[in-house]
A and B are shown apart, each in its own frame.
Chain A
Amino acid sequence: MEMDKVLDVQNLHAVFRINKKEYEVLHDISFSVRRNETVCIVGESGCGKSVTTLCVMGLLPKNGRVTSGSIRLDNTELTGLSQKAIRKFRGSKMGMIFQEPMTALNPLLTVGYQMRENLILHRGVDRKKANEMAVEYLTKVGIANPEQRLKQFPFQLSGGLRQRVLIAMVLSAQPDLLIADEPTTALDVTIQKQVLALLNHLKKEMNAGIMFITHDLGVVAEIADRIVVLYAGRKVEEGTVEQIFRNPLHPYTVGLINAVPDVEKEEFVIQPIPGMFPNITEEIPGCRFNPRCPHAAECALCSKEAPKMTEAEPGHFAACHLITAGGAQHD
């Protein structure tokens, strides 16, 4: 089972330096991604989803750093590696698809150049062979006239096509781990569906693990095997997609699910989570969610002590004082 883990993140802590002061943006994050599995990292903007991906890719901005914890990719420890050393894993072992397909491709280089660059670098082929393979991968992601597309520049393609090009490019290096940071957010709904179906299909075909970042629970329901819910740099709940949707334990997860408007209900109302997402500089004692939590008023512990991660049912973890009483201690 351990061998199956493509990515294993344990007790990851990361900080950002702002105005000469360091603020913790990730606190004790643990999760893993197995082969042929999609793990969705869910949370509001600023909760640490993207920072987690950047930690894994080793692409944190200069003012950010991992302070402790471990990130293992195919059983190789990535934390503490130099930029040069971690670069060898980028692209080849882990590929990343970004949120903004409109700006993620270099506007001055042809699609073909950018695809070939990746193939030559990671598959060790010559230019001619790289071209053939690029055609093959573009076909695989469902792009018509691949030969012609290779000669085009990104601005000549639509957003959906660009995202497909990016997916084809990332996959062409045959990574074991695919990190997708909100890859469908900038696309319209029909294209979104197509891209998700494509990712699902490719995951099985390539036997890769996908770490999928999103705040869209509709997307989560469609693609996830397991879900990790982050709130303000902390993991608050983790479980399979059925467990989370059927039986969300953490009040924040409940809030997220309730916030999705249900068109089949009689009254069509949006239920936002009350309060504001905390600023990075804010110190919140106890559970980070307590100022917004509907249950915190009844609980004496919530504003004093941080809740521990508890396994409520097999494979379903949550960090909340409300369930700590009933469930077994996790660690």
Chain B
Amino acid sequence: MGRYIRKRIVMMFFLLIGMTFIVFASLYLAPGDPAEIAAGPSATVEEVERMRVYLGLDRPFFVQYFTYLTNLFKGDLGTSLITRQPIRDELAVRLPNTLNLAVASMIFASAIGIPLGIIAAINKDSWIDNTLTTLSLAGISIPNFWLGSILIITFCVQLGWFPTGGMDAPFWTAHGFKQAVLPALSLGMQVAAGFTRIGRSSMLEVMQSDYIRTARSKGVAENRVIWIHALRNALIPIITQMGTSFGGLLGGAIVTEQVFAVNGIGSYLMNAISQRNYYAVQSTVLVIAFMFVVVNLIVDLLYSVIDPRIRYE
């Protein structure tokens, strides 16, 4: 088990190095000139050239990349071309908000999506199943920015139950909960619907399996068959889905944070892109990739908790 984790961490390290290269290279190839942005709109040609030398942009690609890598190892994510502040500090302020939103959405999606999938499976082909399958199809198809706007109009503007936006406290506090409900709902809806669908199909498959027949032939009560014998087996593909949907949540957060005025790394990235703040884009993408990789490592560890076949390998 310890060996497995070590192996995964080493692999994760190389994955992230590869990631830095892709991010760096794609911004290097992207049209536009960071020196021009940094020097400002009124700068002369000489000033832009001086800025280029100052930023090291006149050096060969690989020299620039290795400088960037060594800086990364020192914990330096670069300086914002617009604010001249360290990007690390700017992200550090915003990251907790995004994580808060993503985790709240994931909890909402799991708490609603997985049980509904299981309920649909054990009531296969009944009206309950048909309703849930239709609803989950709707849930997957609704774009989250649209859902967000509708939620704001209904619950904030007309009913006044929740604040229209902002996020300055974690979701487990009363104040933070009120702020997180609507963004988590709009961001988590697609993921929840995805869980319902995969939960249903995975549960149906497990209920067909030989060991479920064995359990039934032993005279085990149907509730026990479902919750003890079937559920854990059905969770394995759902957990895989959790890992990949977390990436989707981080991607969706870029839009949702805009809609709900959350000061997170999603809206930061959005601004950085529109301002052509190259280094900020680079570092934010890298941070998102890093979180995605870490979450998937956690998912792999979760597998081994559930599945002894992985634990004993």
Asked whether A104 lies within 8 Å of B308 as measured between CB atoms, the reply is no
Name the distance in Å between A71's Cβ and chain B's nearest Cβ: 15
CB pair B211–A169 under 8 Å, yes or no, is: no
Q: Can you report 6 residue pairs joining A to B where beta carbons are below 8 Å apart?
A: A57-B217, A92-B219, A95-B217, A106-B233, A118-B218, A169-B218
| Distance between Cα atoms of A290 and B204 in the complex (Å) | 41
Q: A87: nearest residue on chain B (CB-CB)?
A: B219
List the A residue with the shortest CB-CB distance to B224. Answer: A117
Q: Which of B214, B228, B309 contacts A166 (CB 8 A)?
A: B214
Q: A121-B218, A121-B220 are in contact. Are A106 and B309 (CB under 8 A)?
A: no
Residue in B closest to A90 when the chains form the complex, CB atoms: B219
Instruction: Decide if B17 is an interface residue (CB 8 Å cutoff).
Output: no
B11 within 8 A of A: no
B30 at the interface (CB under 8 A from A): no
Which of B210, B220, B233 interacts with A108 by CB under 8 Å? B233
B47 contacts A by Cβ under 8 Å: no
Residues in B whose Cβ lies below 8 Å from that of A104: 210-211, 213-214
A31 at the A/B interface (Cβ < 8 Å)? Answer: no
Flag A98-124 by CB within 8 Å of B: 1 or 0 each.
Answer: 101001111111100000011001100
Residue in contact with A156 in the complex, picked from B214, B217, B229, B312, CB distance below 8 Å: B312
Partner pick for B218 among A91, A108, A110, CB 8 A cutoff: A91
Contact call A121/B219, Cβ cutoff below 8 A: yes
State in angstroms the CA–CA spacing of A109 and B232 once bound together: 10
Q: Which B residues have a C-beta under 8 Å from some C-beta of A?
A: 209-211, 213-222, 228-229, 232-233, 306-309, 312
Taking each of B210, B217, B229, B312, which has the highest tally of chain A beta carbons within 10 Å of its own beta carbon? B217
* Interfacial chain A residues near B218, Cβ < 8 Å: 90-91, 95, 117-118, 121, 169-170, 173
Complex Cα–Cα for A184 and B216 (A): 21
Q: Report Cα–Cα, A104/B215, bound state, in Å.
A: 9
Asked if A193 lies at the interface with its beta carbon under 8 angstroms from chain B, I say no
Most chain B CB atoms below 10 A, which of A98, A104, A121: A104
B217 to chain A: closest CB distance in Å? 4
**A-B pair number, CB within 8 angstroms:** 75
Query: Separation in Å of the A108 CB from the closest CB of chain B?
Result: 5
Does chain B have a CB within 8 A of A323?
no
Residues of B within 8 A of A96 (CB): 214, 217
Shortest distance in angstroms between A87's beta carbon and chain B's nearest beta carbon? Answer: 5
- A142-173 Cβ-contact flags toward B at 8 Å (1 or 0): 00000000000101100000000010011001
Query: Are A103 and B219 touching (Cβ within 8 A)?
Result: no
Closest to B211 in A: A106
A91 to B224, CA, bound (A): 15
Q: Indicate if the CB atoms of A103 and B309 lie closer than 8 Å.
A: no
Evaluate contact between B211 and A117: CB separation under 8 angstroms.
no
A45 to chain B, nearest CB (A): 17
Residues of B within 8 A of A173 (CB): 218-219
In the complex, what residues of A have CB within 8 A of residue B215's CB? Answer: 106
What are the nearest 9 A-B pairs in CB distance?
Answer: A91-B219, A90-B219, A103-B210, A96-B217, A91-B218, A106-B211, A153-B308, A104-B210, A104-B214
Q: Nearest chain-B residue to A105 (Cβ)?
A: B211
Report B-chain residues with C-beta under 8 Å of the C-beta of A245: none
**What's the minimum C-beta distance from B213 to chain A, rounded to whole angstroms?**
7
Which B residues touch A100, using CB under 8 A?
A: 210
Which A residues are CB-close (under 8 A) to B213? 59, 98, 104
- List residues of chain A with CB within 8 A of the CB of B222: 83, 87
Chain A residues with Cβ under 8 A from B219's Cβ?
A: 87-92, 121-122, 173
With both beta carbons as reference points, the residue of chain A lying nearest to B221 in the complex is identified as: A87
* Shortest Cβ gap from B159 to chain A (Å): 44
Pick the residue among A95, A108, A110 that contacts B307 (CB under 8 A): A108
| Other A-B pairs beyond A59-B217, A91-B220, 8, CB < 8 Å | A59-B216, A91-B218, A98-B210, A100-B210, A104-B211, A104-B213, A108-B306, A166-B214
